[in-house]
């Protein structure tokens, strides 16, 4: 017997992601999914970003890692709330894991929710978590050829941060190549040279977050927070 | 490397359908995969074998059907084949988000005993 199904294999995840998105919307919080290779600076970005956003509003962080609570500990002081998801052998977060961590979080008290995905440029691109925005970090030491090698995440990106830009001189690196490759996949995502060390790009990043929050959660957020 | 994640999601879907239809054994699983998913068939085969061990689908044939990519240029209306790393229209050079197919991963059908 043959049963015709024709169903998206990722549908179960997508349904939960849609529910998460609704929870974020109702809470008036902007949810940002941070995706990159291991070691490209996601946690460092959060260490610098959360205190700098404090005058706009509090941030909550969900950290996904195979093992340890090290990343969560690094942002624990500055974030309003932090929760760690240990994924074991899984190389990305699922919408379900986010949904399960939400009851412990006071989302309506926060302005920003940062989800630090497991370090990986492949699988996190396939699994919607319900975020408003996908931000991809690509650090200079990783090389200028990575956009074309991992096209799926860059196609889905709302912003690309070129992190560790202060190391540019230490490598043979072609910035134009990154920009060219990105524009074949994604004409709109801003490509921002960024350094947590020198502060380059920080203003643009923070301004973009504030703007995105206004447009993505806007009126709803004002109603809750005022 | 994402084949394992996708195979796990596929297996969950197969489990769900098996329960709904009181399936006793699965002989063949048809999986339709868009080329833009960049799935490597041999790796998918191995991943499926691993996740289906001890399930109703253990030993089932995984038939992978590739779906080509097609996009429609928003600017000049030309239909073209985008590459995984290049969505520019070959005629006018403009970027197109208008993907008609090639980015999907679908469970097509199950051949089974109920």
- Domain boundaries defined on chain A: 11-216
CA distance A60 to A82: 6
| Residue range of the domain that includes B21 | 3-68+101-113
Query: Which residue in this structure is represented by tokens 């975020």?
Result: A131
In this structure, is residue B89 part of a structural domain? no
Q: What is the interface pTM, i.e. ipTM, of the complex? A: 0.88
Residue A199: how many CB atoms within 10 A of its CB?
12
User: In terms of CA atoms, which chain B residue is nearest residue A2?
Assistant: B111
* Chain B contact present for A13, CB below 8 A: yes
The answer to whether residue B32 is domain-embedded is yes
The residues of B whose Cβ lies within 8 A of any Cβ of A are 1-2, 4-6, 9-10, 12-13, 16-17, 21, 23, 31-32, 36-38, 84-88, 95, 104-114
A179-189: per-residue pLDDT in tens?
Answer: 999 999 999 99
Instruction: Domain count for chain B, please give it.
Output: 1
Cβ proximity of A118 and A39 under 8 Å = no
Task: Provide the percentage of residues in chain A whose pLDDT is more than 90.
Answer: 84
> Which pLDDT score, from 0 to 100, does residue A218 have?
78
Render pLDDT for B72-112 as a digit per residue (tens, 0 to 9).
998 999 999 999 999 999 999 999 888 999 999 999 999 99
pLDDT tens per residue, range A5-61: 999 999 999 999 999 999 999 999 999 999 999 999 999 999 999 999 999 999 999
Q: A28 and A225 in contact (C-beta within 8 Å)?
A: yes
The verdict on residue B85 lying in a domain is no
Q: Taking CA A146 as the corner, what is the angle to CA A170 and CA A154, rounded to the nearest 5 degrees?
A: 125
**Beta partners for residue A34, in sequence order:** A116, A135
A184 interfacial to chain B (CB closer than 8 Å): yes
Q: Class of A11-216 per CATH?
A: alpha beta
* Option in B1, B10, B114 nearest A9 (CB): B10
CATH number for the domain spanning B36: value is 3.30.2320.50
Which strand (E) or helix (H) includes residue A13? helix A11-27
Q: A98 Cβ partners below 8 Å, 6+ apart?
A: A16, A20, A62, A85, A115, A129, A130
Residues 6+ apart with CB under 8 A from A172: none
pLDDT of residue A65: 85
CA–CA gap between residue A224 and residue A109 (Å, rounded): 9
User: Three-state DSSP class for A60?
Assistant: strand
pLDDT exceeds cutoff 80 at A96: yes
Tokens of A89: 């052998």
């Amino acid at each position: 017997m043959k049963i015709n199904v024709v169903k998206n294999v990722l549908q179960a995840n997508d349904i939960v992601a849609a529910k998460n998105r609704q929870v974020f919307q109702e809470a008036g919080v902007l949810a940002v999914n941070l995706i990159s290779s291991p070691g490209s600076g996601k946690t460092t970005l959060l260490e610098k970003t959360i205190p700098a956003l404090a005058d706009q509003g509090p941030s909550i962080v969900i950290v996904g890692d195979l093992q340890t609570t090290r990343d969560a500990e690094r942002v624990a002081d500055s974030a309003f709330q932090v929760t760690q998801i240990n994924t074991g052998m899984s190389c990305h977060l699922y919408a379900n894991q986010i949904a399960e961590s939400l009851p412990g979080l006071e989302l309506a008290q926060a302005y920003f929710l940062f989800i630090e995905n497991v370090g990986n440029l492949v699988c996190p691109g396939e699994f919607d978590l319900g975020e408003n925005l996908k931000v991809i970090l690509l650090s200079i030491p990783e090389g200028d050829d990575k956009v074309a090698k991992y096209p799926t995440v860059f196609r889905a990106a709302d912003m690309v941060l070129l992190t560790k830009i202060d190391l540019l001189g230490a490598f043979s690196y072609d910035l134009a190549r990154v920009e060219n490759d990105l524009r074949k996949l994604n004409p709109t995502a801003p490509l921002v040279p960024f350094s947590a060390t020198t502060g380059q790009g920080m203003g643009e990043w923070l301004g973009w977050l504030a703007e995105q929050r206004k447009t993505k959660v806007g009126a709803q957020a004002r109603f809750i927070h005022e | 490397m994402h084949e394992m994640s996708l195979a796990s999601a596929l297996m969950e879907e197969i489990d769900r359908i098996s329960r709904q239809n009181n399936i006793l054994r699965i002989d063949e699983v048809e999986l339709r995969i868009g080329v833009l998913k960049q799935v490597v068939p041999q790796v998918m085969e191995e991943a499926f074998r691993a996740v289906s061990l001890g399930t109703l689908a253990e030993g089932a044939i995984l038939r992978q059907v590739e779906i080509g990519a097609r996009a429609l240029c928003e600017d000049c209306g030309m239909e073209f084949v985008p590459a995984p790393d290049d969505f520019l229209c070959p005629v006018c050079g403009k970027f197109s988000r208008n993907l008609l197919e090639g980015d999907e991963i679908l469970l097509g059908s199950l051949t089974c005993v109920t």
